[in-house]
Amino acid sequence: MENFQKVLLVLTIIGAINWGLVGLFDINLVSTLFGSATFISRIIYTLIAIAGIVNIGILFNHLEETDL
């Protein structure tokens, strides 16, 4: 399970870096590498979104464990 969480964290970091590049330099790295609105880029965006949602759950589980 720990490896799965690390993979999800890496995907979330990739998404954060991509949004940082969009905000700072107007460069969308995913679109640049895989094309705009292609099937592959949509899969990547979906995986990053799922990783972010799962990471929210991991955060709340971790917070509950530390409250004990």
DSSP string of 2-51? HHHHHHHHHHHHHHHHHHHHHHHH---HHHHHH-TT-HHHHHHHHHHHHH
Band (pLDDT 50/70/90 cuts) for residue 25 is: very high
What value does the mean pLDDT take over residues 39-61? 92
Give me the numbers of helices (H) and strands (E) for the chain, helices first please.
Answer: 3, 0
Q: Give per-residue pLDDT as tens, 12-22.
A: 999 999 999 99
